[in-house]
Amino acid sequence: MASSTPLKDMEEKFFQCSICLEEFKEPKQLPCLHRYCRDCLEIIIQTKVDTMECPLCKTKCNIPEEGVNGFKTDFHMKSMLQFIQLQKSFEDEDIRDCIGCSKKLKITAYCFKCNDFLCEECFQFHLTNKMVSDHEQHTLDLKHVDTENLTLAKLASLTEDPRCKDHPKNLAQLCCGSCGNLPICVACTFGTHKDHVLHEVTKLAKSERERLTAKLVELKTYKEKLYEFPRKVENVRQLLKVNLYEEKKSIQFHYDQQSNKLKNQQKESQNELESKKNEIEKRKENEERQLRLDMEEEIRQDKETQEELRRLDNSSQNQTAALDTLCEQNENLIQEIADYYEHVIKRYENFSASTSTILFSKNDWTDAQFLPDITAASDPLIEDVKKEFSELEFLSEIKVFRTPKDTSNNTTITEHEDSVVDIQGIRSKGRWISSMTKTGDGRILLTGKASNLHSHITVINRNGEKIRQHKFKKDKSFKDHPYRYCASLPLYKVATVCRPTEVGIYDVRDGSYVSKDIREVVNIWPEGNSVLSVTTDVYNNHILVGSSSMEVYELDWHLNFVRTIRLPDDITSVREMSVHNDNIVICDRDGRRVYIVTKNQLEAKLVYELNKPNVDEGDWGPLCTCVDNDGVIYILWSADVSGNNRRIIIQYGQDYRQLATKRLDDSNARCITTLETGEGEKLLVATGQTGLLYTFGLVS
């Protein structure tokens, strides 16, 4: 809005209270800069205690002890409303009482020193009589006012300087910075305001305008991002609908495939049963017994097939219901983000309109008193405009665990690795790898110890080429090594924890990292407790953090606390974890066991203990775990056999039975994960100190 902008060009709603939808009456301004009629605001706060929400932008603010009178009056808005009323009175040729002669006449001027209307005769008297000669510069000739030229700056120049609060006969000459830029006269500098910080109003107003202008310029740099975000939110909403449709279609396809296979088996079994019945009638009595046994076996298998069909049907229905639930949860989160930006946009538009009109009016006294509050209100607005909702891009992703493949067609690890590569920036820099995960865009993230004082996060591609690497200094009070662990989130984000108490989210695209001290997040954090592991439950949008207190802390993707899961007493350490269906796979490295426990209760229940390797007479202990897309569990085991360190990987099925064992030649293997590639899913193995990356195929 240029300084020459006439009042008539300003939007009518700018002068309307959003509660009563009428022109403001005694406008009161909230800290967020939205304003309401005094009476409207009083009605709102009558039902509130201590705090209230702005009806427009939902920003919370404290209610002053004085109630509605404690909110600042928006004198700038009052002035603009006064100007509009003047303009309207002239255009309508109102008949009013003249302040000079007290007669009801057509008004032709307004004196801002008298604060009233003048008829033509009294207006001329104002211009020529020496007794009121000082009124001339404050008098507006309405009959010569062109509405095109009636600007805020011109009208502000007509108003009289404020009077001193303590000495009403004196015009204010200074502003007291110690008292909120209060207008005072010279006499006050020797009394109440002696030794206070004093300002000359023109210089102070100029300084405040410059400060506010700088804030306005900073805000406008985010304008494009701010108005682009609702479109981005809507795109995510539409993508969520598409993904829901595709995921349901995939579930149905998987169900039809499995169901048809089982029905064909059932048909073959029934045909075989009918054939045996016919044979019984033909064969002799001594053969009937075996045939009947065969028939009973066929009947048993037929019942099993029927049960499998029933289970498959229930599973498909449950998966579809779970998808609908996840979709609804994500929709609610998307709507929360959309509402947030709607409110921020309203605040931005109100701030821009308010600051523009105030800056262009150039009323030094008003600016000196009210611009500091407006500038202060810009800081939280700028922070809210800058806020990023990194989880938004996750919210279009919805998945549920599939019904496992037919156990007669297990996935196995290829005998020989597809490739083995040196990882850049690990061995050459003396760094260790303690954890590995994949990202949604096919990159690989490694974490571990960089030195006795630093941990590291390293992002690589499948060829081991370093994309980026960051070092993080450990907490000085922590005496142990700064081991860091990681787990994948959807798309480009990775959850990571570092001993003793750091938890964060890392973006592989630009290396940005947001972290918190978990002690400030959870409800209770025992003295001396330390984080030991991390995994993610992408189906519930949660992060699970294992700790030395045998408790798992569940956080959302904002790193806000959700709940604490207490593990069974059988478990002695939580060095590695993965989520499997509704359970958690726990690698108890100290106890040299792997347990399956429930994750949906505050007190986790022990479901199963995985069988340890029974080879080479070694005391095998678990190092790492991961789960592939078909729900097959992989455990990397380690043992000292005859003075030699050995490594093997065992696959476990959905029923937790051992499926296959894979011996590894490299005794330095430390962590495993799976990765989706153009050639199908692969199993990755990284070594701890030597910095090698092995890739194995997974073959059905």
- pLDDT tens track for 626-660: 999 888 999 999 999 988 999 999 999 888 999 99
- The sign of the torsion formed by the CA atoms of 355, 360, 363, 365 equals positive
**DSSP H or E segment with residue 309:** helix 285-361
Fill in the DSSP letter of residue 151: B
Residue 5 banded pLDDT, cuts 50, 70, 90 = very low
Distance from the first to the final alpha carbon of the chain: 68
- State the amino acid at position 77 in one-letter form: M
Cα–Cα distance, 222 to 132 (Å, whole number): 51
Please state, as a whole number, how many other Cβ atoms lie within 10 Å of the Cβ of residue 493.
23
Which of 5-14, 585-594, 628-637, 674-683 is the least confident region? 5-14
- pLDDT, residue 540, reads 77
pLDDT band at 479 (very low <50, low <70, confident <90, very high): confident
Tens-place pLDDT, residues 204-216: 989 999 999 999 8
669 pLDDT above the threshold of 60: yes
Query: Residue 204, Cβ neighbours under 10 Å: how many?
Result: 22
- Give how far Cα 540 sits from Cα of 334, 355, 394, 496, 547, Å: 15, 44, 11, 18, 21
Average pLDDT for 489-511? 91
- 306 alpha-carbon distance from chain centroid: 46
Task: Give one word for 310, left, alpha or beta, with left for phi > 0 and alpha for psi -120 to 50.
Answer: alpha
Chain mean position to CA 366: 39
Mean pLDDT, the chain, whole residue set: 86
pLDDT at 290: 66
For residue 142, the 8-state DSSP code is: G
What pLDDT, in 10s, does the model give residues 425-448?
A: 998 888 999 999 998 788 999 999
SS3 567: coil
pLDDT for residue 1 is more than 60 = no
Confidence of residue 456 (pLDDT cuts 50, 70, 90): very high
Say if residues 446 and 458 touch (Cβ distance below 8 Å): yes
More confident of the two residues 562 and 161: 562
Nearest by Cα to 436 from 583, 646, 590, 626: 626
Of 15-19, 158-162, 412-416, 653-657, give the lowest mean pLDDT range: 158-162
- DSSP per position, 590-638: TTTEEEEEESSSSBPPEEEEPPPP-STT---EEEEEEE-TT--EEEEEE
d(CA 339, CA 351): 18
Q: What is the mean pLDDT of residues 596-601?
A: 94
Cα–Cα distance for residue pair 286/291, rounded to 1 Å: 10
What is the phi/psi pair of residue 6, to 5°? -75, 155
Nearest to 683 by CA among 694, 674, 670: 674
pLDDT in tens, 327-366: 887 888 889 889 888 889 988 888 888 887 777 777 788 8
Contacts 24+ apart (CB under 8 A), 581-588: 581/401, 581/631, 581/654, 583/607, 584/535, 584/544, 584/552, 585/625, 585/627, 585/633, 585/635, 586/546, 587/533, 587/622, 587/623, 587/624, 587/625, 587/635, 588/622
Q: Provide the pLDDT confidence category of residue 143 given band limits of 50, 70 and 90.
A: low
Per the CB < 8 A criterion, the answer to whether 24 and 17 are in contact is yes
Q: What is the pLDDT of residue 409?
A: 47
Q: How does pLDDT run across 246-268, given as a tens digit for each residue?
A: 888 888 887 888 888 878 877 88
Q: Where are the domains of the chain?
A: 7-163, 223-394, 412-699
Strand partners, 150: none
CB 574 within 8 A of CB 550: yes
CB atoms within 10 A of CB 222: 17
What residues form DSSP beta bridges with 436? 446
Say what the pLDDT of residue 408 is: 45
In sequence order, what are the beta bridge partners of 612? none
Q: At what angle do helices 75-91 and 364-386 cross, to 10 degrees?
A: 120
Q: Which of 71-80, 161-170, 469-478 has the highest mean pLDDT?
A: 469-478
Looking at residue 140, its pLDDT comes to: 78
Q: What is the dihedral of CA 365, 367, 370, 376, to 10 degrees?
A: -150
- The pLDDT, as a whole number, for residue 280 is 60
Residues 577 and 586: beta-carbon distance below 8 Å = yes
The segment with the largest mean pLDDT, out of 39-53, 80-94, 407-421, 455-469, is 455-469
pLDDT at 250: 81
User: Rounded to whole angstroms, how far apart are CA atoms 681 and 431?
Assistant: 28
Instruction: Give the whole-angstrom CA distance, residue 194 versus residue 192.
Output: 6
Please state the rounded mean pLDDT for residues 118-146: 78
Of the listed ranges 35-44, 173-182, 356-365, 405-414, the one predicted with least confidence: 405-414
Answer whether 7-163 and 412-699 agree in fold.
no
**What pLDDT score was predicted for residue 4?**
43
> What residues does 53 pair with on adjacent strands?
60
CATH architecture of 7-163: 2-Layer Sandwich (3.30)
3-state secondary structure 181-250: CEEECHHHHHCCCCCCCEEEHHHHHHHHHHHHHHHHHHHHCCHHHHHHHHHHHHHHHHHHHHHHHHHHHH
Q: 412-699 has which CATH code?
A: 2.120.10.30
pLDDT of residue 297: 75
Burial profile 248-280: b = 16 or more Cβ within 10 angstroms, e = fewer: beebeebbeebbeebeebbeebeebbeebeeee
Taking only the tens place, the pLDDT of each residue in 306-325 is: 887 887 787 788 778 877 87
